[in-house]
Amino acid sequence: MSSGASRRWRPRSLLQLLLLAFFAVMLPLAVLVYQTGQALFELSEVAEKSARQAVEETRRAHTIASLALNLERSARQYAVVEEPSLLNMFDQQLADYSALLKQHHQLLPDDPDVLALVAYQQELVGISALPIEAFSEQLSQFSDMSQHIEPMRQATNSRIDQRLDAIRTQALEVREQLWWQALGLVSVSLLLVLLFTRLIIRPVSHLEKRILSIGGSQTTPQRPIQGPAELVRLDERLDWLTSRLHELEEEKRQFLRHMSHELKTPLASVREGASLLADGVAGEMTASQRDVLALIDASGSELQRLIEQLLDYNVLQQGRSQEVSRADVAVLAREVLAKHRLALKSKGMRVTLFDGPLYWHVIPSATTAILDNLISNAVAYGEDAGVLEVRADCSSSALVIEVANSGEAIALGDREKLFTPFYQGQARRKGVLKGSGIGLSVASDCARLQRGTLALVDDDRLPVCFQLVLPPVDTRTL
């Protein structure tokens, strides 16, 4: 109930989640682009308007200066020739001058030069109606008025420069504002990216952990994931797969138990019958019959060893804990060599064993299984009339046991899979029966059971050398 309620706000599919993530991340960027466009548009409008005003004001100031000069020229010409057309031209020029000066006065209402020009312009309004003598007396005003023309133009340019500085300041403010907006919106986008990444990666990581735990011994139920429907369905499939793998593993173990039991019973009868024949219970046997009987007994022993390997493999797969005790490793090695005495004698192999006693805390059955598999492989794959060396070295940090033999070196392609269950390399086993491919796997599991390692190492004298390293153990069980 709570799980369903907690998923209501979530997208129903991975595609919806991705689309939502895309639009959510792009929304702050789209807002940033829109705000940037609006700010630049407003700034460009202000700049364009200011540019037009600057051109208009500069042109008006220049026209006012030109009209002032023309007014003075027309007035002086009229005072000399007294031509009425010149007076009409003067009146028209004065009207234009007055209109432009009025507009310029609105631009610079407090400028003293503009105020002085306005005052002179008002005095010139009625000059055309004066008699010629009075008209001539007013000509001196033009000289005073011309002194204010150039300062008026400079004041106009200063006003334009101020406006340009204001636009430049506004542009800097807009740029700073856009930087802060970009920083904020990009930060929001990054937070959204992290959020949606977590929403996507979290269920994927959960599925990855589920997949990694499928092959292990973990049986604790996992919490269902919350996320897109595809990942939820995949999690359900993993639940089914985990359950199915556990069923198959249990069936495999049961099969190994039953098969080992079913094989050991008739095998015991075969070996018992062979022993009775060898004792002459059924009568005296010829030499040829004894040879055949020896072959049957050797093959039965080999088959029993393979069955014991399967049993050991099954026990190790179940992960049962075993007792640790302080044992003489040299005695364990001699017991294993004694078990293979006939096979070693048949191959003519020279055996070298380290001197004892050598005591160490081990699981005796596991250590014996390791030595048994390594020595068995040396007999099966080693060189006829070759060398088998069992070496050991003990220190405070670890017990190191090496089993090395002469013969053909293990191929490079086989080394990575040597300890894989049921893997058989390129080398051919020497003997009647073929190996099962789990001997080294059982030995490696027995080493891990004692927190040790088993590895194929390089040796200066012998081409095949397996090294077992067992650390010191303080506890009584592993």
| Blockwise average pLDDT, block size 10, the chain, 478 residues | 45 72 82 85 85 87 87 83 83 87 86 86 80 80 81 86 86 86 84 80 75 61 67 78 78 68 67 72 73 74 68 57 82 89 86 89 87 88 90 88 90 80 60 57 84 89 92 63
Give the pLDDT of residue 184.
84
User: Do 328 and 357 form a contact (C-beta atoms < 8 A)?
Assistant: yes
Give the pLDDT of residue 390.
93
pTM recorded for the entire structure: 0.45
Give the pLDDT of residue 465.
93
Q: What would the DSSP string read from start to end of 95-108?
A: HHHHHHHHHHHHHS
Give the pLDDT of residue 9.
52
Is the Cα dihedral 3, 7, 8, 14 positive or negative? negative
Domain boundaries along the sequence of the chain? 14-181, 228-320, 324-470
Residue found under tokens 């300890």: 419
Within 10 Å of residue 350's Cβ, how many Cβ atoms? 12
Residue found under tokens 């234009």: 96
CATH 3.40.50.2300 holds for 324-470: no
Q: Kindly state the helix (H) or strand (E) to which residue 466 belongs, with its residue range.
A: strand 464-470
Give the pLDDT of residue 223.
67
Give the pLDDT of residue 225.
67
Is it true that 228-320 and 324-470 share their CATH fold?
A: no
What would the two tokens of residue 125 be?
């309004």
Residue 220's SS3 state is coil
Nearest CA-CA partner of 461 in 364, 376, 366, 388: 388
CATH fold of 228-320: Helix Hairpins (1.10.287)
Strand ranges in 8-110 using DSSP code E only, listed in sequence order: none
Q: Give the 3-state secondary structure of 106-138.
A: HHCCCCHHHHHHHHHHHHCCCHHHCCHHHHHHC
Nearest CA-CA partner of 336 in 296, 305, 300, 294: 305
Within 10 Å of residue 381's Cβ, how many Cβ atoms? 19
